[in-house]
Amino acid sequence: MELLKDIICKARKLGKQIVLPEGTEPRTLKATEIILKEGIAKVILLGAPAKIEAEAAKNGVNISGATLIDPAADSRRAVYADLMVEIRKSKGLLKEQALDMLNDPLVFAPLMIKNGDADGEIAGAVNATGDVLRPALQFVKTMPGVSVVSGAFLMFVNKPQFGANGVLVFADCAVMPNPDAQQLAEIAITTAKTAKALTGMEPQVAMLSFSTKGSAKHPLVDKVTQALQIARQLAPDLQIDGEMQVDAALVGEVAKLKAPGSPVAGKANVLVFPGLEAANIGYKLVQRLAGAEAIGPILQGMAAPVNDLSRGCSVSDIVNMVAIAANQAADN
Ligand code: ACO
């Protein structure tokens, strides 16, 4: 896990401020102690300060370096509400509604980012993905030139013959249930950027399907070949190929048989799945059956890092995601 150590090391030098909306959640508090002790980031915990402190004491956790903010009482609420009304004016959001919404830490955190009061957000230890993502999509929005937010996983497979010395990046495992060809192309390009930025690998992108180079005919295969064409137009320098089955993407011998001459087959390190079902099931299979370490979902395409956690996350998952968010904030 040298790569993870590098990411944590880089985060230490960046001094980014990461907001954790689930401020009374015990794993979040334990992670906060580690993040502060190791100087990985500055931490903002949201919630009623008395409750946060009581929970920290109950868990024997020292969070004395963290900034505690109560979304229901903070002096910036009116400023944030004006910002929300401005951003959602086409949807007719009223200031009273915005003030009410700001009581929810999952809304307050994106507004902190939007107003420049935090560099990134990590949540999801107790909240569902949709509830974490929706306010971030509404108020942080996508980065310029990107229309689709998606979720990538860094997969550490302990088998150096695969990917970049055992490291692969999978997407979209978290956000878009059924991307169209244009969205899939964007997901491929953003994932390649994430892979390069976080791991330093030269992305070799495989557009996955149940067909390799026309072996099956189906509208679902057509979607992937169209996405490939669009991605090539949008990013002509990107090493990308498809459509291909995952064995052709990963195994040189299979690639020679099924996709001879492909610049990517047999050595892919970025796997772009055709839809969320395949991607979400696929990363969990590799994690559970092959014992891979899966780090993510790392949300990509958002104007600032907002990363979701699995509700089964560990303390070290939260620490790692904070370090990743700090790195992403520096690259944005
Ligand atoms: N990229 C950019 N913007 C988006 C995206 C996207 N992928 N998806 C939605 N939006 C925008 C919409 O355009 C909309 O903007 P607007 O309000 O300004 O018009 C806003 O976000 C809200 O979108 P809705 O369609 O109202 O919200 P929806 O209820 O569809 O929520 C969500 C979007 C939460 C991402 C939904 O698609 C979802 O639940 N996805 C699956 C998440 C999930 O359960 N993943 C699996 C678990 S994660 C894991 O296991 C690692």
Q: Tokens for 10, please give them.
A: 């880089």
Q: Whose Cα sits closest to atom 16 in ligand 1?
A: 138
Nearest CA to ligand 1 atom 38: 130
Q: State phi, psi for 116 to the nearest 5 degrees.
A: 80, 15
Residue 296 Cα: closest atom of ligand 1 = 51
Q: Which residues 6+ apart lie within 8 Å of 186 measured at CB? A: 146, 147, 148, 150, 234, 301
Q: Are residues 186 and 269 in the same domain?
A: yes
In this structure, what CATH number is given to the domain that contains residue 203? 3.40.50.10750
Q: How far is the CA of 176 from the centre of ligand 1 (A)?
A: 7
Question: Whose C-alpha lies nearest to ligand 1, atom 32?
Answer: 130
Q: Atom 36 of ligand 1 has which residue's CA nearest to it?
A: 130
pLDDT in tens, 98-111: 999 999 999 999 99
**Does 225 lie in the same domain as 115?**
no
Q: How far apart are CA 177 and CA 271, in angstroms?
A: 17
Question: Cα 228 vs. chain centroid, distance in angstroms?
Answer: 22
- Residue 98 in any domain: the answer is yes
pLDDT in tens, 271-319: 999 999 999 999 999 999 999 999 989 999 999 999 999 888 999 999 9
Global pTM value = 0.91
Confidence class for position 76, pLDDT limits 50, 70, 90: very high
User: Which of 87, 133, 281, 310 for a ligand 1 pocket mutation test, highest count of atoms within 8 Å of Cβ?
Assistant: 133
DSSP character for 194?
Answer: H
Q: Are residues 182 and 213 in the same domain?
A: yes
The protein residue with its alpha carbon nearest to ligand 1, atom 19, reads: 138
Do 216 and 315 belong together in one domain? Answer: no
Same domain, 157 and 285: yes
> Is pLDDT at 332 greater than 80 in this prediction?
no
Ligand 1 nearest atom to the CA of residue 147, by list position:
2
What residues flank ligand 1, with Cβ below 6 Å? 129-130, 133-134, 137-138, 142, 148-149, 173-177, 280, 297, 310
Question: 76 and 32 in one domain?
Answer: yes
Burial 222-243 (b: 16+ CB within 10 A, else e): ebbbbbbebbeeebeebbbbbb
pLDDT of residue 16: 97
What pLDDT was estimated at residue 201? 94
pLDDT at 331 over 80: no
- 51: domain CATH number? 3.40.50.10950
Query: How many domains is the chain partitioned into structurally?
Result: 2
Within a domain: residue 298? no
- In terms of domains, do 30 and 12 share one? yes
The contacts of residue 319 (CB under 8 Å, 6+ apart) are: 8, 31, 34, 35, 38, 40
Q: How far is the CA of 1 from the centre of ligand 1 (A)?
A: 32
Candidate of 172, 175, 178 to mutate for ligand 1, largest count of ligand atoms within 8 Å of Cβ: 175
Using the mean position of ligand 1's atoms as its centre, give its distance from the Cα of residue 234 in Å: 24
Phi first, then psi: give them for residue 84, nearest 5 degrees.
-65, -45
Q: Which residue has the tokens 């150590």?
A: 5
Q: Tell me how far the alpha carbon of residue 191 lies from the centroid of ligand 1, in angstroms.
A: 18
**What dihedral angle (degrees, nearest 10) is formed by the CA atoms of 5, 10, 14, 17?**
-30
Task: Specify the long-range contacts of residues 67-76, CB closer than 8 Å, at least 24 apart.
Answer: 67/42, 67/43, 68/23, 68/44, 69/44, 69/45, 69/108, 69/112, 70/46, 71/46, 71/47, 71/102, 71/103, 71/104, 71/105, 71/107, 71/108, 72/48, 72/102, 72/103, 74/108, 76/115, 76/117
Q: Within this chain, do residues 165 and 275 fall inside the same structural domain, yes or no? A: yes
Condensed to tens digits (0 to 9), the pLDDT of residues 120-133 reads: 999 999 999 999 99
What pLDDT is stored for residue 192 in this prediction? 97
For residue 145, the model assigns a pLDDT of 86
pLDDT tens digits, one per residue of 2-59: 888 999 999 999 999 999 999 999 999 999 999 999 999 999 999 999 999 999 999 9
Per-residue pLDDT averaged across 80-92, rounded?
A: 96
User: For a substitution probing ligand 1, which of 86, 97, 134 has the most ligand atoms within 8 Å of its CB?
Assistant: 134
Could you list the residue range(s) of the whole structural domain that residue 244 is in?
150-293
pLDDT in tens, 222-258: 999 999 999 999 999 999 999 999 999 999 999 999 9
Residue nearest to atom 44 of ligand 1 (CA): 129
pLDDT of residue 30: 98
pLDDT in tens, 154-177: 999 989 999 999 999 999 999 999
Determine the residue type at 173.
C
Tell me, what's the pLDDT at 310? 87
* Nearest CA, atom 4, ligand 1: 137
